[in-house]
Amino acid sequence: GAVVSQHPSWVICKSGTSVKIECRSLDFQATTMFWYRQFPKQSLMLMATSNEGSKATYEQGVEKDKFLINHASLTLSTLTVTSAHPEDSSFYICSTRESTDTQYFGPGTRLTVL
């Protein structure tokens, strides 16, 4: 399956600051990537679909101005959490989609906002 990396693996920041998370597809060109959020003991919730060269598609209830997604190349998508607050603390995971529609996930980024 596809190999996906994320950076950083964990980050702690102060309330009000912005945090950027990178998602890289290491072994194939990904026109589509997905961003998920997972709160403790809960399942993965899709936040947005990231499309190379165009605007991301956000799920209902996800603020596009707060969670900025940029997919500028076929191997990199970034998620920026702007003006982070403690309630944004979560595990953020990206995935890429292969031609078979199977999604392969990155290792995730644990964000803690103080």
Partner 1 sequence: EDKVVQSPLSLVVHEGDTVTLNCSYEVTNFRSLLWYKQEKKAPTFLFMLTSSGIEKKSGRLSSILDKKELFSILNITATQTGDSAIYLCAGGVIQGAQKLVFGQGTRLTINP
What is the contact surface with partner 1 in residues (CB under 8 A)? 1, 32, 34, 42-46, 49, 51, 57, 93, 97, 100-108
CB of 97 to partner 1, least distance (A): 6
Rg (CA), the chain: 13
Q: Which helix (H) or strand (E) holds 79?
A: strand 76-81
Q: Which residue number, 43 or 86, has a Cβ lying nearer to partner 1?
A: 43
Residue 9 neighbours by CB distance under 10 Å: 12
Q: Which helix (H) or strand (E) holds 7?
A: strand 4-7
Q: Which residue number, 57 or 70, has a Cβ lying nearer to partner 1?
A: 57
Q: Are 32 and 46 within 8 A, CB to CB?
A: no
CB of 31 to partner 1, least distance (A): 8
Q: Which residue number, 30 or 84, has a Cβ lying nearer to partner 1?
A: 30
